[in-house]
Amino acid sequence: MRRRLVFPLALGLLVAFPVLAQRGEERGQNRPRANQGRVPPPPPRRDNPRSQPEPERHDSRRVNSTPHVNKDHWFGHDRPDDKRYHFDRPFEHGRFEHFGPSYRYRIERFDRDHHRLWLPGGFFFEVAAWDWPICTDWCWDCADDFVIYEDSDHVGWYLLYNVHTGVYVHVSYMGT
Protein backbone atom coordinates (compact mmCIF):
# COMPACT_ATOMS: atom_id res chain seq x y z
CA MET A 1 0.00 0.00 0.00
CA ARG A 2 2.80 2.41 0.86
CA ARG A 3 4.52 1.77 -2.47
CA ARG A 4 1.37 2.80 -4.31
CA LEU A 5 1.44 6.16 -2.54
CA VAL A 6 5.13 6.87 -3.11
CA PHE A 7 4.83 7.48 -6.87
CA PRO A 8 1.80 9.82 -6.74
CA LEU A 9 3.34 11.70 -3.81
CA ALA A 10 6.66 12.10 -5.63
CA LEU A 11 4.86 13.23 -8.78
CA GLY A 12 2.82 15.73 -6.78
CA LEU A 13 5.94 17.21 -5.20
CA LEU A 14 7.65 17.41 -8.57
CA VAL A 15 4.71 19.31 -10.02
CA ALA A 16 4.35 21.55 -6.94
CA PHE A 17 8.05 22.48 -6.73
CA PRO A 18 7.97 25.21 -9.40
CA VAL A 19 4.88 26.72 -7.79
CA LEU A 20 6.57 26.73 -4.39
CA ALA A 21 9.72 28.24 -5.90
CA GLN A 22 7.69 31.16 -7.22
CA ARG A 23 5.96 31.77 -3.92
CA GLY A 24 6.77 35.25 -2.67
CA GLU A 25 7.29 36.52 -6.19
CA GLU A 26 4.34 38.48 -7.45
CA ARG A 27 3.85 38.98 -11.18
CA GLY A 28 7.34 37.69 -11.88
CA GLN A 29 9.00 40.16 -9.55
CA ASN A 30 11.90 39.25 -7.32
CA ARG A 31 11.75 39.81 -3.59
CA PRO A 32 13.64 43.03 -2.69
CA ARG A 33 17.06 42.48 -1.16
CA ALA A 34 17.54 46.04 0.13
CA ASN A 35 15.71 47.91 2.88
CA GLN A 36 15.20 44.76 4.95
CA GLY A 37 13.37 43.08 2.06
CA ARG A 38 10.71 45.76 1.64
CA VAL A 39 9.90 48.37 -0.97
CA PRO A 40 10.01 51.68 0.96
CA PRO A 41 7.22 54.22 1.24
CA PRO A 42 7.71 57.47 -0.71
CA PRO A 43 10.30 59.92 0.60
CA PRO A 44 8.91 62.59 2.90
CA ARG A 45 8.90 66.20 1.79
CA ARG A 46 11.40 68.35 3.68
CA ASP A 47 10.09 71.68 4.90
CA ASN A 48 13.44 73.42 5.16
CA PRO A 49 14.73 74.24 1.65
CA ARG A 50 18.30 74.36 2.99
CA SER A 51 18.15 70.83 4.46
CA GLN A 52 21.47 69.14 3.80
CA PRO A 53 21.73 65.56 2.50
CA GLU A 54 21.67 63.25 5.50
CA PRO A 55 24.35 60.53 5.42
CA GLU A 56 23.83 57.19 7.15
CA ARG A 57 26.19 56.81 10.08
CA HIS A 58 27.18 53.35 11.31
CA ASP A 59 28.52 52.29 14.70
CA SER A 60 31.85 51.42 13.10
CA ARG A 61 32.31 55.14 12.29
CA ARG A 62 31.61 54.43 8.65
CA VAL A 63 29.52 57.04 6.84
CA ASN A 64 27.46 56.23 3.74
CA SER A 65 26.50 59.37 1.82
CA THR A 66 25.31 57.53 -1.31
CA PRO A 67 21.62 58.18 -2.00
CA HIS A 68 19.94 55.05 -0.61
CA VAL A 69 17.12 53.78 1.58
CA ASN A 70 17.64 51.76 4.75
CA LYS A 71 14.93 50.94 7.30
CA ASP A 72 12.51 53.05 5.20
CA HIS A 73 14.69 56.14 5.75
CA TRP A 74 15.87 58.04 2.66
CA PHE A 75 19.55 58.96 3.04
CA GLY A 76 21.68 61.26 0.87
CA HIS A 77 18.85 63.19 -0.80
CA ASP A 78 20.12 66.50 -2.17
CA ARG A 79 18.95 69.85 -0.79
CA PRO A 80 15.50 71.00 -1.91
CA ASP A 81 16.95 74.32 -3.14
CA ASP A 82 19.77 72.71 -5.15
CA LYS A 83 19.95 74.66 -8.44
CA ARG A 84 20.71 71.52 -10.50
CA TYR A 85 17.10 70.41 -10.06
CA HIS A 86 15.47 73.57 -11.35
CA PHE A 87 13.35 73.17 -14.48
CA ASP A 88 12.12 76.27 -16.31
CA ARG A 89 9.19 74.12 -17.47
CA PRO A 90 8.59 71.25 -15.02
CA PHE A 91 6.71 68.31 -16.50
CA GLU A 92 7.46 69.53 -20.02
CA HIS A 93 6.81 66.01 -21.37
CA GLY A 94 3.80 65.40 -19.14
CA ARG A 95 3.52 63.67 -15.80
CA PHE A 96 4.32 60.05 -15.18
CA GLU A 97 1.39 58.74 -13.18
CA HIS A 98 2.33 55.13 -12.38
CA PHE A 99 4.72 55.76 -9.53
CA GLY A 100 5.02 54.63 -5.93
CA PRO A 101 5.70 51.40 -4.07
CA SER A 102 2.77 49.55 -5.64
CA TYR A 103 4.36 49.82 -9.12
CA ARG A 104 7.47 47.77 -9.84
CA TYR A 105 9.18 47.78 -13.21
CA ARG A 106 11.86 46.02 -15.16
CA ILE A 107 13.85 48.02 -17.65
CA GLU A 108 12.86 47.04 -21.18
CA ARG A 109 15.52 49.01 -22.99
CA PHE A 110 18.53 51.03 -21.97
CA ASP A 111 20.71 53.50 -23.86
CA ARG A 112 24.00 53.74 -21.93
CA ASP A 113 25.37 56.57 -24.11
CA HIS A 114 22.43 58.90 -23.38
CA HIS A 115 21.60 57.53 -19.91
CA ARG A 116 18.04 56.73 -20.94
CA LEU A 117 15.82 53.86 -19.90
CA TRP A 118 12.47 52.58 -21.10
CA LEU A 119 9.81 50.97 -18.94
CA PRO A 120 7.04 48.68 -20.18
CA GLY A 121 4.50 50.72 -22.14
CA GLY A 122 7.16 52.86 -23.84
CA PHE A 123 7.63 55.32 -20.95
CA PHE A 124 11.16 56.62 -20.91
CA PHE A 125 13.34 58.50 -18.48
CA GLU A 126 16.78 60.07 -18.48
CA VAL A 127 19.13 59.72 -15.52
CA ALA A 128 20.44 63.05 -14.20
CA ALA A 129 24.01 63.58 -15.39
CA TRP A 130 25.30 64.13 -11.83
CA ASP A 131 23.66 60.89 -10.65
CA TRP A 132 24.95 58.77 -13.54
CA PRO A 133 28.18 57.73 -11.74
CA ILE A 134 26.03 56.25 -8.95
CA CYS A 135 24.19 53.86 -11.26
CA THR A 136 26.65 53.27 -14.09
CA ASP A 137 27.44 49.77 -12.80
CA TRP A 138 23.81 48.69 -12.35
CA CYS A 139 22.86 45.67 -14.39
CA TRP A 140 20.20 47.32 -16.50
CA ASP A 141 19.29 44.15 -18.39
CA CYS A 142 19.39 41.65 -15.52
CA ALA A 143 15.66 41.77 -14.80
CA ASP A 144 16.22 43.78 -11.62
CA ASP A 145 13.12 45.51 -10.33
CA PHE A 146 12.82 49.26 -9.99
CA VAL A 147 10.30 51.61 -8.44
CA ILE A 148 9.67 55.16 -9.60
CA TYR A 149 8.84 57.77 -6.95
CA GLU A 150 7.83 61.37 -7.45
CA ASP A 151 10.58 63.51 -5.95
CA SER A 152 8.90 65.43 -3.15
CA ASP A 153 11.71 68.00 -2.90
CA HIS A 154 12.50 68.70 -6.57
CA VAL A 155 9.52 69.65 -8.76
CA GLY A 156 9.48 67.80 -12.06
CA TRP A 157 11.93 65.09 -11.02
CA TYR A 158 11.39 61.44 -10.17
CA LEU A 159 13.51 58.98 -8.21
CA LEU A 160 14.43 55.62 -9.70
CA TYR A 161 14.89 53.17 -6.81
CA ASN A 162 16.66 49.83 -7.29
CA VAL A 163 14.86 47.36 -4.99
CA HIS A 164 17.91 45.08 -4.85
CA THR A 165 20.64 47.61 -4.05
CA GLY A 166 18.55 50.16 -2.13
CA VAL A 167 20.18 52.97 -4.11
CA TYR A 168 18.20 55.63 -5.97
CA VAL A 169 18.98 58.21 -8.64
CA HIS A 170 17.15 61.21 -10.05
CA VAL A 171 15.47 60.78 -13.42
CA SER A 172 13.45 63.11 -15.61
CA TYR A 173 10.42 61.84 -17.46
CA MET A 174 10.82 62.17 -21.21
CA GLY A 175 7.36 60.89 -22.24
CA THR A 176 6.40 57.89 -24.37
Residues 83-95 have pLDDT tens digits of 999 999 999 999 9
> Is the pTM of the predicted complex or chain greater than 0.95?
no
Q: Would 11 be classed as within a structural domain?
A: no
What range defines the domain where residue 163 resides? Answer: 33-175
Q: Would 28 be classed as within a structural domain?
A: no
pLDDT at site 25:
42
Q: Would 3 be classed as within a structural domain?
A: no
Q: Would 106 be classed as within a structural domain?
A: yes
Q: Would 90 be classed as within a structural domain?
A: yes
DSSP string, 4-47: HHHHHHHHHHHHHHHHHHHTT-STTPPPP-SGGGSPPPPPPPPS
Q: Would 149 be classed as within a structural domain?
A: yes
Tell me if 115 sits within 8 A of 125, measured CB to CB: no
Q: Would 22 be classed as within a structural domain?
A: no
pLDDT, mean of residues 78-87: 94
Q: Would 21 be classed as within a structural domain?
A: no
CA distances from 63 to 52, 67, 76, 78, 147 (A): 15, 12, 11, 16, 25
pLDDT greater than 90 at residue 114 = yes
pLDDT greater than 60 at residue 40 = yes
Contacts of 49 (CB under 8 A, 6+ apart): 79, 80, 81
CA distances from 115 to 37, 69, 134 (A): 28, 22, 12
Q: How many domains does the chain have?
A: 1
